[in-house]
């Protein structure tokens, strides 16, 4: 009887062992499925985060780029000039600003239409952008037909050379302007202002100075000289 009981217990133990092996194998398979699902979920989440970062980057670019000319917009200009102001103040280096305004642009629009006017602004933006060679320089559409160029680490003399280059490239492009009273082609007025920023001042004074230089009255003699040689309204 004792032997029979031991045999029975042995069979029961074998069955328990078999049951445990089956359970363990089933659990392992279940764990593999769970692990695979977790990997997939993590991968999908990472892809979603990358996609979200790309969308945010695009939105950030859109918020800082002028939709027409594809250069920096006024918001980006305001951020950039504030950044450069404090950086130049810290480094005690000059910061120069050039305002550029397309002459008689209203009559251009009236004569050729707004679609042609938009195309003209795109070309002007490309011309200005092409003259800037340093990574830190920035051209922005300031508003309407007006553009702004920020030149860090640049004194007025250097800015005048940049302005002359802009005018030369614009003159060489020969964008016809039948509505202008000073030329047969598109021209621009430019105003230059330069200063060494300080920590207790603001860039608004520099902007006001460049704006004043931009809109200084031009005499007929000055306009003639402007067309023949260099723009006389470049006032450091």
Give pLDDT tens digits for 60-99: 555 799 999 999 999 999 999 999 999 999 999 999 999 9
pLDDT surpasses 60 at 220: no
Region 116-133: what's the mean pLDDT? 96
Question: Is 163 in the same domain as 184?
Answer: yes
Rounded to 10 deg, the angle between the 2-64 and 74-91 helix axes is 90
Is position 178 within any domain?
yes
The pLDDT assigned to 116 comes to: 96
List Cα–Cα distances, 39 to 25, 45, 59, in angstroms. Answer: 21, 10, 30
User: Residue 224 sits in a domain of what CATH number?
Assistant: 3.30.70.270
The pLDDT assigned to 76 comes to: 95
Is position 187 within any domain?
yes
The pLDDT assigned to 209 comes to: 92
Is position 95 within any domain?
yes
Q: Sorting pLDDT into bands at 50, 70 and 90, what band is 229?
A: very low
Question: Is 78 in the same domain as 121?
Answer: yes
Region 43-53: what's the mean pLDDT? 64
The pLDDT assigned to 90 comes to: 95
Region 159-163: what's the mean pLDDT? 93
Domain that holds residue 123: 74-228
Question: Is 8 in the same domain as 100?
Answer: no
Question: Is 43 in the same domain as 84?
Answer: no
- In tens, the pLDDT along 104-124 reads 999 999 999 999 999 999 999
List Cα–Cα distances, 107 to 7, 58, 154, 181, in angstroms. Answer: 111, 36, 34, 10
**162 vs 157: CA distance, rounded Å:** 9
Question: Is 133 in the same domain as 91?
Answer: yes
Q: Which of 11, 43, 64 is the last residue of a domain?
A: 64
Mean pLDDT of the chain: 82
Question: Is 59 in the same domain as 82?
Answer: no
**141 vs 38: CA distance, rounded Å:** 49
Is position 121 within any domain?
yes
Q: Which of 38, 64, 90 is the last residue of a domain?
A: 64
The pLDDT assigned to 46 comes to: 67
Region 195-211: what's the mean pLDDT? 93
* Residue bearing the bigger pLDDT, 163 or 224: 163
Q: Which of 64, 91, 106 is the last residue of a domain?
A: 64
> Per the residue annotation, which of 11, 145, 146, 155 is the catalytic one?
145
Lowest pLDDT segment from 115-119, 144-148, 216-220:
216-220
The pLDDT assigned to 225 comes to: 36
Question: Is 40 in the same domain as 101?
Answer: no
Question: Is 136 in the same domain as 209?
Answer: yes
**pTM for the structure as a whole:** 0.70
Question: Is 154 in the same domain as 193?
Answer: yes
Question: Is 221 in the same domain as 125?
Answer: yes
Question: Is 54 in the same domain as 82?
Answer: no
- 155 included as an active-site residue: no
Query: What is the chain's length?
Result: 236
pLDDT surpasses 70 at 152: yes
Domain count, the chain: 2
The pLDDT assigned to 222 comes to: 37
Is position 234 within any domain?
no
Within 10 angstroms of residue 39's Cβ, the number of other Cβ atoms is 10
* Residue bearing the bigger pLDDT, 113 or 49: 113
Taken in order 54, 58, 59, 64, is the CA torsion positive or negative? positive
Is position 69 within any domain?
no
The pLDDT assigned to 228 comes to: 36
Q: In sequence order, what are the beta bridge partners of 147?
A: 100, 141
Question: Is 155 in the same domain as 205?
Answer: yes
Q: Sorting pLDDT into bands at 50, 70 and 90, what band is 44?
A: low
């Amino acid at each position: 009887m004792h032997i029979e009981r031991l045999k029975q217990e042995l069979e029961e133990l074998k069955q328990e062992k078999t049951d445990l092996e089956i359970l363990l194998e089933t659990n392992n398979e279940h764990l593999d499925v769970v692990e695979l699902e977790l990997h997939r979920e993590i991968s999908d989440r990472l892809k979603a985060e990358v996609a979200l970062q790309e969308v945010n980057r695009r939105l950030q670019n859109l918020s800082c780029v002028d939709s027409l000319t594809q250069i920096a917009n006024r918001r980006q200009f305001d951020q950039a000039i504030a950044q450069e102001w404090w950086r130049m103040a810290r480094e005690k280096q000059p910061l120069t600003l050039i305002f550029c305004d397309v002459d008689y642009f209203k009559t251009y629009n009236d004569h050729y239409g707004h679609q042609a006017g938009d195309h003209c602004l795109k070309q002007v933006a490309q011309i200005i952008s092409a003259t800037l060679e340093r990574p830190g320089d920035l051209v922005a559409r300031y508003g309407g037909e007006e553009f702004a160029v920020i030149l860090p680490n640049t004194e007025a003399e250097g800015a005048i050379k940049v302005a002359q280059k802009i005018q030369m490239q614009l003159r060489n492009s020969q964008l016809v302007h039948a509505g202008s009273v000073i030329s047969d082609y598109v021209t621009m007025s430019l105003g230059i202002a330069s200063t060494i920023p300080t920590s207790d001042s603001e860039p608004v004074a520099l902007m006001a100075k460049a704006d004043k230089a931009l809109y200084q009255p031009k005499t007929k003699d000055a306009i003639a000289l402007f067309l023949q040689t260099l723009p006389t309204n470049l006032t450091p």
